Copies of this chain bind each other. A is one copy, B any other.
């Protein structure tokens, strides 16, 4: 059931005066349900409930949080068809893709459930007292990670499940022991409500305190800004554009108490195609790149938007293969009108840009359908035109032809921070290009060898982040188990009575977790 209301703790509320409907990029028409934007009092109520809930929820054991998270997956599973059907309507993504995304969402939640059940993630560290140390006695000090407080999560348009209401941000924040307040994305408000209800159902069944989760509805910027400004908010997670993420970041830094903002704002994900591999696997690499660019209409933050190729006698072949691959791709539904129109504007700008040659552009078809486009530029033109470093969100990539290694290094030096950097190269060739690799390692959170950047693996070793402007905080990841570290801080207990310590720090290690104990790792 979709009511269009704000879900504030266990209550529903629609006191605001602004309403809107979802728009289906698939049918190109408004959907029936009416959503009511949150008002100021509702935002404040949601935070008061979250703050009250935090006092209890922060003390929940890993096993209790784990059970709560697993219950969410049960409700997602039993509402899977209903949710994905609505998501198809609201996002235009295919049912197959959304089913996969639901799998990923459920697997992510289970991953965090397992992480907090196992318990070692808290980085427990124990230094035992040495009362007879010469000079001054050493006190007993123990330290572990503790939750920050209410976390604001902004749903992402391009991952209506895996990076929205019950996505990685919400799940990692809940797993850490923080209440979550989601700002539903106005492109898929119905999907958001359906998913929010699964979290609330799981919360009720787990006897979670009211306010551990709320979802607020808003189309414009006001609701999100009110959420970031609320003094009870202790952290913000966002996936979206540079403009949107930076605006929230600035707002959060201007608060009386600045708070961390984890904004993942996109990337060019440059691919460096070196000579040997380009010559030996010309068509295969062109095919992989074209598929990666066009997957999901190019609406991934990991889409490669830049292909930097070393000029070889076979480079024209490689470019031809790329063009041919692009010409075989179909126009695909884009997520919403804003994304579609910004994509068209960017392509029109590039088509009229003297230093860029459009290699191939599919015909513009039905409204809200993204057409595959590939362009080419010289290294010098790329370097001298910083606007070519702006991310074009959609099925577009720019090929930059470098006449020598120095130009590749110049480009590497000129690049801003990136989520990923990929090399297609031979083993020996990579070893011979350490300088280039080292330059680029300093610009990115993930280095990839002979694979495409899309299709990010969600695991303990995942790093999805990178230097600004890829994200606002390169020291953290928004994907993988490491994402939980965004929403915690260490607390030390000095000379603390053993029976009052959190279980993770007690002498007898009742949870059998890995701990650094007098500088040695022990379980």
A residues touching B (Cβ–Cβ < 8 Å)? 54-55, 58-59, 120, 125-127, 136, 138-139, 141-143, 146, 148-149, 249-250, 253, 257-258, 260, 417, 427, 430-431, 434, 437-439, 441-442, 444-451, 455, 457, 459-463, 465, 467-469, 472-477, 482, 488-497, 499-500, 514, 516, 519, 521, 523
B445, A492: Cβ atoms under 8 Å?
yes
Closest to A434 in B: B500
B146, A441: Cβ atoms under 8 Å?
yes
Please indicate which of the listed interface residues A250, A447, A523 has the most CB atoms of chain B within 10 Å of its own CB: A447
A494, B451: Cβ atoms under 8 Å?
yes
Please indicate which of the listed interface residues A476, A491, A499, A514 has the most CB atoms of chain B within 10 Å of its own CB: A491
Given A139-B457, A260-B475, A473-B260: A465 and B490 within 8 A (CB)? Answer: yes
Please measure, in the bound complex, the distance between the C-alpha atom of A142 and the C-alpha atom of B461, giving whole angstroms: 5
Closest to A472 in B: B258
Show 18 A/B contacts (Cβ-Cβ < 8 Å), sorted by A: A55-B439, A58-B442, A59-B438, A127-B459, A127-B462, A136-B455, A141-B462, A257-B469, A258-B472, A437-B500, A441-B491, A446-B492, A448-B494, A449-B496, A463-B490, A475-B488, A482-B490, A514-B521
Closest to A234 in B: B467
Closest to A235 in B: B475
Please measure, in the bound complex, the distance between the C-alpha atom of A80 and the C-alpha atom of B522, giving whole angstroms: 38
Cβ contact of A495, chosen from B439, B451, B460, B519, cutoff 8 A: B451
Cβ contact of A463, chosen from B138, B143, B516, cutoff 8 A: B143
Please measure, in the bound complex, the distance between the C-alpha atom of A487 and the C-alpha atom of B172, giving whole angstroms: 23
Task: Please give, as numbers and ranges, the residues of chain B lying within 8 Å of A445 by CB-CB distance.
Answer: 489-492
Chain B nearest CB: distance from A234 CB in Å?
9
A477, B490: Cβ atoms under 8 Å?
yes
Please measure, in the bound complex, the distance between the C-alpha atom of A434 and the C-alpha atom of B497, giving whole angstroms: 12
Given A141-B461, A460-B519: A474 and B489 within 8 A (CB)? Answer: yes
Task: Please give, as numbers and ranges, the residues of chain B lying within 8 Å of A142 by CB-CB distance.
Answer: 461
Task: Please give, as numbers and ranges, the residues of chain B lying within 8 Å of A138 by CB-CB distance.
Answer: 457, 459
Task: Please give, as numbers and ranges, the residues of chain B lying within 8 Å of A467 by CB-CB distance.
Answer: 257, 489
B127, A449: Cβ atoms under 8 Å?
no
Chain B nearest CB: distance from A259 CB in Å?
8
Cβ contact of A494, chosen from B126, B136, B447, B516, cutoff 8 A: B447
Given A257-B469, A442-B149: A141 and B459 within 8 A (CB)? Answer: yes
Cβ contact of A449, chosen from B258, B469, B495, cutoff 8 A: B495
Please measure, in the bound complex, the distance between the C-alpha atom of A253 and the C-alpha atom of B255, giving whole angstroms: 12
Task: Please give, as numbers and ranges, the residues of chain B lying within 8 Å of A491 by CB-CB distance.
Answer: 441, 444-447, 463
Task: Please give, as numbers and ranges, the residues of chain B lying within 8 Å of A438 by CB-CB distance.
Answer: 55, 58-59
Closest to A146 in B: B441
Please measure, in the bound complex, the distance between the C-alpha atom of A439 and the C-alpha atom of B450, giving whole angstroms: 52
Please measure, in the bound complex, the distance between the C-alpha atom of A58 and the C-alpha atom of B442, giving whole angstroms: 9
Chain B nearest CB: distance from A267 CB in Å?
14
The 7 residue pairs across chains A and B that have the minimum distance between CB atoms: A463-B492, A127-B461, A141-B461, A143-B461, A253-B253, A448-B494, A125-B461
Number of copies: 2
Chain B nearest CB: distance from A314 CB in Å?
23
Task: Please give, as numbers and ranges, the residues of chain B lying within 8 Å of A482 by CB-CB distance.
Answer: 143, 490
Chain B nearest CB: distance from A46 CB in Å?
19
A446, B488: Cβ atoms under 8 Å?
no
Task: Please give, as numbers and ranges, the residues of chain B lying within 8 Å of A444 by CB-CB distance.
Answer: 491
Task: Please give, as numbers and ranges, the residues of chain B lying within 8 Å of A472 by CB-CB distance.
Answer: 258
Chain B nearest CB: distance from A420 CB in Å?
8
Chain B nearest CB: distance from A172 CB in Å?
14
Closest to A143 in B: B461
Extra A-B contacts (17), CB below 8 Å, given A258-B472, A476-B490 = A126-B461, A127-B461, A141-B461, A141-B462, A143-B482, A249-B253, A253-B253, A446-B491, A447-B491, A447-B496, A448-B494, A449-B495, A467-B489, A475-B489, A482-B490, A514-B521, A521-B523
Given A127-B457, A127-B459, A516-B460: A500 and B431 within 8 A (CB)? Answer: yes
Please measure, in the bound complex, the distance between the C-alpha atom of A477 and the C-alpha atom of B143, giving whole angstroms: 11
Cβ contact of A427, chosen from B249, B448, B497, cutoff 8 A: B497
Chain B nearest CB: distance from A183 CB in Å?
22
Chain B nearest CB: distance from A42 CB in Å?
24
Task: Please give, as numbers and ranges, the residues of chain B lying within 8 Å of A448 by CB-CB distance.
Answer: 494-496
Cβ contact of A492, chosen from B148, B462, B489, B499, cutoff 8 A: B462
Task: Please give, as numbers and ranges, the residues of chain B lying within 8 Å of A490 by CB-CB distance.
Answer: 445, 463, 465, 475-477, 482
